Each structure stands twice: as C-alpha cells, then as structure tokens.
Amino acid sequence: MSAKVTLYVDYRSPFSYLVKEEAYALARDFDVTLLWQPFTIDLQGAYGGEVEERTDRDWRKVRYAYMDARRLAARHNWIIRGTTKIFDPTLAHTGMLLASQTDESVFRCYHDTLCERFWRRDLDIEDAGAIRSLLIEAGAEGRAFDELILSGEGVRRCRTIATEAEERGVFGVPTFVLQETGELFWGSDRVWLLRERLSGTGSQPRCQNGCQNEI
C-alpha cells in the first residue's frame, strides 16, 4: 500500500528549493504518494520584521541562513541570491496548486524553473503575467490560472492549506508529514529519518500523533 507524504514549501525559502532533489529521490525510491503543498511562513516574525526593521542580530541570522543555503546549493551548482524584499508568494503558490493538479511533469517543470529563476533574481513572483507565462511554458493552462486568481479561489485554497498545516503542527519549511503517523520531518537534514521510517528500519515514536502534543 502506497504511503502518503505531504511536503510543505514556501517559494521564498531557499531551503524549499534545496530540498527538491531529495524529495524527487524519495518519490523514486519508495512507494509513496508525494503531495506538494504551499505554506506561507511568517518571514517577518522569523527574521525581525520588515527588512528596514531588522536588528543586527536579525541580520546575522539572515546572513547565516543564506550562507548555509549557498553552501548546500554549491553542491548542485545552483545559484542563491538574497532577495531584496519580502515577497508575497500567493501568485506563485496558486501556480503550484494548478501545476500539481495538472500533471507531475508539469509540476516539476514549473517548480524547478520557478525556483531557479527566482533565486537568480530573474523572476518576480508577484507578477501575475510572469507566473502565467511560466505555467504555460510548463504545460498548464493560462486560463485556469486566470480563473483561480479572478475568483479568489487560489487565495482561499492557499489559506485553507495553511490552516490545515498549522493544525498538523507545521511551523516552517520544508516540512514532510507522514500521513500514517502524523509525524513531521522539518528540513532537508531530516529526510534520512523519513527514509528510515518508510523503509521500516526507523524507530517508532512512543507517543501518539508523531509526538506533536508532547514536550
């Protein structure tokens, strides 16, 4: 029986970009259904408010995060350039929903291309026309994207997903959730734990629901 795993990502997080190869490998190596879902994290709360409001400590935290991301990206010859502002990811996340419901190959093309261009600063994810063009390039229908935006359905779905994610205990990205146990695996450096669980070699938690309610 195929295991079900949900992966929550936010296109504004470089680590949501960096996890993709491990996520693809997970789907390749195991009998799993991998569902990619957008989760808009509170970047202001995590890194000291708007860019101009950050303290020296906040900036040290931001710089270290980017340093770590670049070290990991260098292993794949990927480029990570720091963003110049805190973007609204709603359009890009709506595009993710459309691409993933269209076809796996469409999603991967959309996801990979968006991440590569955004982190090179070659794509404005707040530009609806740019996201629409990228979806068409990946093989999705531009009209379907228009309908999601104009009707407000894209925003509603993103909010619903975020609410459900928080109820499951999700607080950051990337986060894998194993549906069978409710366990969370946050960050690409925890993927090996998920792989152990899927292979049946990992130890089971002694508490219920993935230990989310126990400290």
Enzyme catalytic residues: 13
Rounded to a whole number, what is the distance in angstroms from the first to the last CA of the chain?
Answer: 32
Tell me the angle at which helices 153-167 and 90-102 cross, rounded to the nearest 10 degrees. Answer: 90
Q: How far apart are CA 129 and CA 142, in angstroms?
A: 9
User: In Å, how far from its chain's centre is CA 11?
Assistant: 6
Cβ neighbours, 10 Å, residue 151: 10
Strand, helix or coil for residue 54 = coil
Which phi and psi (to 5°) does residue 79 adopt?
Answer: -105, 130
Q: How many CA atoms lie within 13 A of 164 on its CB side?
A: 14
CA distances from 66 to 14, 69, 80, 117 (A): 8, 5, 8, 17
Amino acid identity, position 91: L
CA distances from 206 to 5, 22, 76, 116, 145 (A): 20, 27, 37, 40, 44
